[in-house]
């Protein structure tokens, strides 16, 4: 028995180091396991934080919308160096041209009640700003929107109708003359209820510098521009009728003492001149009143069509040879005060789901006190800025897919024929100028 006891003790002593090592290994494994769990918890927490950051980033990106379009086109005119409102005058010796008419990129950050918009235009002529504004919507009844920056002038229909959606390549001559560049620097308030009876009405009104679209203020005046519109849907008849009345009430400041207007007592309707030294720095009215209407109807079998029209009349200060926006800058420029009127009618007929036919007729008369036979008569001092123009445009649009469309359009331009005795710069207007323009355009929009 003693021998057995001794043998057991010897075996126990021999095994003891192994037991101690196993215990140490177990403790180490347990410690490592605990450490691994803690590391895993840290990784999970870190991943949660990353996911939260990613969600916040994605939520912000959902508010950002990037859009744009490019219009590449080929044009051919009747003659070289043609004066044209179909994308600008043709240079000397140029009768045909390729050009990028518009290359727009727009960023819109919409935070429900607030909005930020920046749009640039990139063409072969360089880079320009088209829109740069911020808007705030009232949080209570969501009816009023205040906007400040550079944006469309709130007058009529055609100004705010996007060039990417407009069927004709360009806006009518009267809008290009009265509202060059379409945009203006200022602030406006828009009222339009989302639901209810008043949702058919919308009001836009604002104050603007009253100079060219992106130009700095150059006088003490601010111009008022406003439009009251109505939209009447007749869903059962597949018909919709929209319309509005607009007002432009502004002033320009002349830097010249020479002020011209038509003498109503003159049988030939000659210009009279006021050359008082006190005229320098005086302000003269630029006032337009306009009305517009749009009719949309879905014709059975053929497809939907729209018929749009606008009429504008008022007083337009201009220069001797130009009836456009008076903006003399540093150059001393005599001012010519003219009564003007203009209008257009535009028909668009869908043909199937991919084709559209367009017909448009527009007229701009920069001086309604005169007719063609009086312009240029001896002793009248009339200029090319008094000549009336009318344009008939015919075109076809083919929608290749949701992004691409092709446009073929032909502008037939006619000027009124002036007095047979007209000379100088008016002499070419004794006949119709050769200034028709054909446009072939491809547009990509996203």
Assess contact for 283 and 321: CB atoms under 8 A. no
Task: State how far the Cα of 415 lies from the Cα of 79, in Å rounded to an integer.
Answer: 16
Q: Say what the pLDDT of residue 157 is.
A: 98
Q: Say what the pLDDT of residue 80 is.
A: 97
Segment 387-408 mean pLDDT = 98
pTM given for the model = 0.86
Segment 305-318 mean pLDDT = 97
Residue 28 scores a pLDDT above 70 = no
Residue 246 scores a pLDDT above 90 = yes
Task: State how far the Cα of 149 lies from the Cα of 126, in Å rounded to an integer.
Answer: 22
Highest-confidence segment of 53-57, 234-238, 268-272: 268-272
At 175, the pLDDT band (50, 70, 90 cuts) reads very high
Q: Say what the pLDDT of residue 12 is.
A: 47
Segment 192-203 mean pLDDT = 89
Residue 14 scores a pLDDT above 70 = no
3-state secondary structure 198-255: HHHEEEEEEEECCCCCCCCCCCCCCEEEEEEEEEEEEHHHCEEEEEEEEEEEEEEECC
Residue 13 scores a pLDDT above 80 = no
At 22, the pLDDT band (50, 70, 90 cuts) reads very low
Per the rule left: phi > 0, alpha: psi between -120 and 50, beta: everything else, 128 is beta
Residue 17 scores a pLDDT above 60 = no
Segment 126-146 mean pLDDT = 96
Q: Which of 113-127, 276-290, 296-310, 421-435 is the least confident region?
A: 296-310
Could you tell me which of 205, 90, 227, 206 has the C-alpha nearest to residue 158?
227
Task: State how far the Cα of 128 lies from the Cα of 214, in Å rounded to an integer.
Answer: 9
| Higher-scoring residue by pLDDT: 19, 246 | 246
Residue 24 scores a pLDDT above 70 = no
At 25, the pLDDT band (50, 70, 90 cuts) reads low
Contacts of the segment 125-134: beta carbons below 8 A, 24+ positions apart: 128/214, 129/214, 130/104, 130/183, 131/106, 131/183
Q: Could you give the percent of the chain with pLDDT greater than 90?
A: 77
Residue 51 scores a pLDDT above 80 = no
At 299, the pLDDT band (50, 70, 90 cuts) reads confident
Task: State how far the Cα of 444 lies from the Cα of 305, in Å rounded to an integer.
Answer: 23
Q: How many other β-carbons are positioned within 10 Å of the β-carbon of residue 328?
A: 16
Q: Say what the pLDDT of residue 413 is.
A: 98
pLDDT in tens, 319-332: 998 999 888 878 89
Residue 60 scores a pLDDT above 80 = no
pLDDT in tens, 341-387: 999 999 999 998 899 999 999 999 999 999 999 999 998 999 999 99
Assess contact for 395 and 348: CB atoms under 8 A. no
Residue 391 scores a pLDDT above 60 = yes
3-state secondary structure the chain: CHHHHHHHHHHHHHHHHHHHHHHHHHHHHHHHHHHHHHHHHHHHHHHHHHHHHHHHHHHHHHCEEEEEEEEEEEEEECCCCCCCCCCCCCCCCCCEEEEEEEEEEEEEEECCCEEEEEEEEEECCEEEEEEEEEEEECCCCCCEEEEEEEEECCCCCCCCCCCCCCCCCCCCHHHHHHCCCCEEEEEEEEECCCCCHHHHEEEEEEEECCCCCCCCCCCCCCEEEEEEEEEEEEHHHCEEEEEEEEEEEEEEECCCCCEEEECCCCCCCCEEEECCHHHCCCEEEEEEEEEEEEEEEEECCCEEEEEEEEEEEEEEEECCCCCCCCCCCCCCCCEEEEEEEEEEEEEEEEECCCEEEEEEEEEEECCCCCCCCCCCCCCCCCCHHHCCEEEEEEEEEEECCCCEEEEEEEEEEEECCCCCCCCHHHHHHHCCCCCCEEEEEEEEEC
Highest-confidence segment of 189-198, 262-271, 282-291, 316-325: 282-291
């Amino acid at each position: 028995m003693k021998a057995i006891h001794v043998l057991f003790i010897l075996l126990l002593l021999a095994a003891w180091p192994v037991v101690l090592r196993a215990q140490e290994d177990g403790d180490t494994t347990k410690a490592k396991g605990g450490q691994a769990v803690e590391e895993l918890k840290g990784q999970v927490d870190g991943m949660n934080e990353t996911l939260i950051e990613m969600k916040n980033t994605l939520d912000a990106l959902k508010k950002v919308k990037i859009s744009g379009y490019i219009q590449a086109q080929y044009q051919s005119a009747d003659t070289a160096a043609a004066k044209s409102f179909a994308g600008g005058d043709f240079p000397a010796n140029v009768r045909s041209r390729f050009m990028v008419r518009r290359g727009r990129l727009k960023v819109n950050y919409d935070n429900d009640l607030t909005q930020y918009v920046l749009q640039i235009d990139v063409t072969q002529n360089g880079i320009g700003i088209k829109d740069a504004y911020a808007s705030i919507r009232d949080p209570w009844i969501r009816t009023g929107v205040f906007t400040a920056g550079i944006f469309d002038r709130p007058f009529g229909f055609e100004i705010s109708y996007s060039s990417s959606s407009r069927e004709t390549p360009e806006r009518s001559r009267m809008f290009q003359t009265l509202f060059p560049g379409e945009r203006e620097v200022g602030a406006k308030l828009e009222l339009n209820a989302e639901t209810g009876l008043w949702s058919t009405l919308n009001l836009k009104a604002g104050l603007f510098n009253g100079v060219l679209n992106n130009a700095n203020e150059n006088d003490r005046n601010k111009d008022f521009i406003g439009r009251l519109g109505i939209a009447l849907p007749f869903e059962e008849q597949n018909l919709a009728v929209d319309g509005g009345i607009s007002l432009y009430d502004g002033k320009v400041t002349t830097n010249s003492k020479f002020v011209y207007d038509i003498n109503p007592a003159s049988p030939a309707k000659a210009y009279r001149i006021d050359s008082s030294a006190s005229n320098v720095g005086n302000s003269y009215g630029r006032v337009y009143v306009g009305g517009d209407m749009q009719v949309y109807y879905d014709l059975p079998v053929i497809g939907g069509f729209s018929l749009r029209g606008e009429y504008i009349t008022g007083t337009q200060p201009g220069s001797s040879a130009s009836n456009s926006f008076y903006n003399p800058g540093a150059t001393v420029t005599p001012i010519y005060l003219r009564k003007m009127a203009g209008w257009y009618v535009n028909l668009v007929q869908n043909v199937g789901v991919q084709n559209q036919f367009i017909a448009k007729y527009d007229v701009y008369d920069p001086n309604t006190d005169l007719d063609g036979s009086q312009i240029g008569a001896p002793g009248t001092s009339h200029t090319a800025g008094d000549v009336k123009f009318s344009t008939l445009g015919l075109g076809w649009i083919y929608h290749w897919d949701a992004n691409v469309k092709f446009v073929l359009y032909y502008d037939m331009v006619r000027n009124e024929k002036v007095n047979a005795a007209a000379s100088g710069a008016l002499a070419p207007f004794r006949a119709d100028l050769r200034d028709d323009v054909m446009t072939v355009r491809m547009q990509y929009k996203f």
